[in-house]
Amino acid sequence: MRAAAVVAAAGSSTRMGLDKILALVDGRPVLTRSLQVLRAAGMERIVVGVRPGSAESVRSTALVPYGLDQVTLTDGGPTRSATVRSSLAALPPEIDYVLVHDAARPFCTPSLVRRVLEAAERYGAACAALPLVDTVHRAAPSGEIAQTLDRTSLWGAQTPQAFRRELLEAAHARGAEGTDDAGLVAALGVAVRLVEGERTNIKVTYPKDLVPDPGFAVGYGQDVHRLVPGRRLVLGGVTVPHDRGLDGHSDADVLCHAVADAVLGASGLGDIGRHFPPSDPRWAGADSLDLLRRCVEMAAACGWRPTQADCLVTAERPRLAPFSEEMRARLADALGCAPDRVNVKAGTAEGLGALGRQEGIGATAVVLMMRA
């Protein structure tokens, strides 16, 4: 089976008030998500029919940033059927099965794509669909019910739909118009197999259908270092007078490390051990405020900027309260947010455990990041 996907993405989105295929769902364009589903289902050749003149902007916003450069864009037509026809014409001759999908169904799963393809291979034509849950009335022009249809035999069509190529081409040969391809193929007298679709596989039609991108992310960080003689005690970039300091490869600033881990965590970038491994001599004796700044830069490259941090340092001794304002100012400077958005709390372990025995100092931090 040599299958290709045709994606209809040239709709006018009049009910959305914006170009819905480029609207963001959880940070990714609707079209991108739909294409990623097809890719995850193993579809390698994909042709997308877009509004004439929009290919450049679609390519730069929905394809290139997501490694979808191999997807072919072609100018769609004034109707959905015309768009499918122009996309079909762009397929290479060796393709023998065509899967048609709406760009506006970003919540479809790879499993449904595979099940529809399998059914097409077995039966020649297949369509994802679900039994209707609402009762359907046919309305008279007067606005009254003319007829109540028997719901038990009614199914609502979804995409994907898949066909042996010659069936789909025959259905479109005479410029037929329809709201879906399964109907056009069935009109040829061909049996189209219904495959149980998914309730979540909605067609994004209204702004409320989009899962809004919350625009923020929360990161959590935690660190602990051992107290040893002969080292400087550095916390939040501030040198605190004490008879011992924290042991570590860098300056061992647990507070900066916890905050940096929270920044990386919120941005999906792993942890500081991954980016600044103790095995790397470049970070020997490193200023951890500088490491934190580098983490903030990495997060910015992914589109995130810190906006608030809440931190707790657990130390039995020394008393840290006199230094917390300066720690706060230095952390805020490294994070690039206002000092009043950074909070540094100091607590003890009440004499309990290793921290209570003053064997080390620990820190935890929660950082709120906003989409830049």
Q: Which residues bind Mg ion (CB under 5 A)?
A: 223, 257
Cβ proximity to Mg ion: between 19 and 223 the closer is 223
For tokens 């005690």, the residue is 233
Cβ proximity to Mg ion: between 203 and 226 the closer is 226
Nearest-CB residue for Mg ion: 257
Cβ proximity to Mg ion: between 58 and 327 the closer is 327
Distance, in Å, from the CA atom of 6 to the CA atom of 153, rounded to the nearest integer, reads 29
Q: Supply the minimum distance, in Å, between the C-beta of residue 288 and Mg ion.
A: 8
Query: Is residue 314 within 8 Å of 345, Cβ to Cβ?
Result: no
Question: Which residue in 314, 324, 362 sits closest to 240, CA to CA?
Answer: 324
Question: Which residue in 72, 77, 74, 64 sits closest to 32, CA to CA?
Answer: 64
- In the chain, % helix, strand, coil (3-state, to 5) comes to 35, 30, 40
Cβ proximity to Mg ion: between 160 and 221 the closer is 221
Cβ proximity to Mg ion: between 257 and 328 the closer is 257
Give the SS3 label for residue 4. strand
Which amino acid type is present at position 274? Answer: R
Q: Supply the minimum distance, in Å, between the C-beta of residue 254 and Mg ion.
A: 6
Cβ proximity to Mg ion: between 119 and 246 the closer is 246
Query: Is residue 154 within 8 Å of 132, Cβ to Cβ?
Result: yes
What are the residues facing 346 on neighbouring strands?
Answer: 313
Q: Supply the minimum distance, in Å, between the C-beta of residue 262 and Mg ion.
A: 13
Cβ proximity to Mg ion: between 223 and 316 the closer is 223
Q: Supply the minimum distance, in Å, between the C-beta of residue 365 and Mg ion.
A: 12
Omega before 92 within 30 of 0, i.e. cis: no
Q: Supply the minimum distance, in Å, between the C-beta of residue 325 and Mg ion.
A: 23
- Reading the block at residue 24, the tokens are 């963001």
Q: Supply the minimum distance, in Å, between the C-beta of residue 267 and Mg ion.
A: 18
Distance, in Å, from the CA atom of 74 to the CA atom of 356, rounded to the nearest integer, reads 67
CB atoms within 10 A of CB 224: 17
Query: Is residue 156 within 8 Å of 132, Cβ to Cβ?
Result: yes
Q: Supply the minimum distance, in Å, between the C-beta of residue 292 and Mg ion.
A: 12
Per-residue DSSP letters for 19-47?
Answer: -GGGSEETTEEHHHHHHHHHHHTT--EEE
Cβ proximity to Mg ion: between 126 and 235 the closer is 235
Distance, in Å, from the CA atom of 237 to the CA atom of 332, rounded to the nearest integer, reads 11
What are the residues facing 50 on neighbouring strands?
Answer: 9, 75
Q: Supply the minimum distance, in Å, between the C-beta of residue 313 and Mg ion.
A: 13
